[in-house]
């Protein structure tokens, strides 16, 4: 090696470039693997977080002729849970939701989406009804305003009618403990006073 003094160090740095490229690729792929571990990776972030819940006027499943609007639900936070009797994941979620509803931490409202009236009633009869009230959207128009694209989906709306949180997929005890309850505590502290139900 009788290289000129200035080209020697350049040579040795150039030599590391392919290794650096491969290492960068490796890091990229590893990051991809880590990200794909999240079972909820396909969930879309809702652009409605922090915005007022869309205006709606929907029939109530158990009371023929009664219509409920978004304004009727104002005043205290509520959880809106999208479900359908055709949705297997909703059945998986059902015991978790029931357990949470029984704590009476806040109102749990059902959003019965793209269903049949009789099927919905039978489903609740069979598994139990965790909801304070079930709204029905059988043509799916209100669901589009909420940005709903699958069931189950769950929204947390505060007393002022602002959507504060959304979860796509079946709720689990972990999600309730790690995401929903802290969010709810934050809402309560902002409202100045905790208002259960």
Q: Which residues are near another protein by CB under 8 A?
A: 1-4, 7, 11, 15, 17, 42, 44-48, 114, 139-141, 143-150
Rounded Cα–Cα distance for residues 111 and 136 (Å): 6
The pair of three-digit structure tokens given for residue 87, joined into one six-digit string: 């949705």
45 vs 65, which CB is nearer to another protein?
Answer: 45
147 vs 160, which CB is nearer to another protein?
Answer: 147
Token pair 């977080």: residue: 49
Q: How far is the CB of 127 from another protein (least distance, A)?
A: 22
Token pair 């809106």: residue: 80
15 vs 37, which CB is nearer to another protein?
Answer: 15
The pair of three-digit structure tokens given for residue 73, joined into one six-digit string: 């639900």
Q: How far is the CB of 18 from another protein (least distance, A)?
A: 8
Q: How far is the CB of 185 from another protein (least distance, A)?
A: 27
The torsion angles phi and psi of 29, rounded to 5 degrees, stand at -65, -40
Q: How far is the CB of 131 from another protein (least distance, A)?
A: 22
2 vs 126, which CB is nearer to another protein?
Answer: 2
Please check whether residue 78 is in contact with residue 53, taking contact to mean a CB–CB distance below 8 angstroms. no
Q: How far is the CB of 177 from another protein (least distance, A)?
A: 27
128 vs 140, which CB is nearer to another protein?
Answer: 140
Please check whether residue 157 is in contact with residue 73, taking contact to mean a CB–CB distance below 8 angstroms. yes
Q: How far is the CB of 140 from another protein (least distance, A)?
A: 4
Please check whether residue 110 is in contact with residue 61, taking contact to mean a CB–CB distance below 8 angstroms. yes
Rounded Cα–Cα distance for residues 114 and 85 (Å): 9
8 vs 67, which CB is nearer to another protein?
Answer: 8
Rounded Cα–Cα distance for residues 167 and 151 (Å): 10
**5, 19, 23, 188 from 16: Cα distances, Å:** 19, 5, 10, 56
């Amino acid at each position: 090696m009788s290289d000129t003094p200035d080209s020697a160090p350049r040579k040795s740095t150039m030599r590391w470039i392919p290794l650096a490229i491969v290492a960068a690729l490796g890091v990229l792929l590893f990051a991809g693997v880590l990200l794909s571990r999240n079972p909820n990776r396909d969930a879309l972030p809702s652009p409605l977080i922090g915005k007022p819940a869309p205006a709606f006027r929907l029939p109530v499943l158990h009371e023929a002729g009664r219509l409920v609007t978004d304004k009727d639900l104002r005043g205290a936070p509520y959880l809106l849970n999208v479900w359908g009797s055709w949705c297997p994941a909703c059945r998986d979620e059902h015991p978790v939701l029931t357990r949470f509803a029984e704590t009476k931490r806040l109102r749990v409202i059902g959003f019965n989406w793209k269903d049949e009236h009789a099927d919905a009633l039978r489903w609740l009869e069979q598994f139990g009804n965790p909801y304070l009230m079930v709204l029905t959207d059988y043509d799916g128009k209100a669901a589009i305003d909420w940005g709903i694209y699958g069931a189950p989906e769950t929204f947390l709306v505060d007393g002022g009618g602002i959507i504060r949180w959304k979860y796509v997929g079946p709720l689990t005890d972990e999600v309730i403990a790690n995401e929903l309850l802290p969010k709810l505590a934050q809402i309560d502290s902002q409202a100045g006073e905790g208002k259960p139900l």
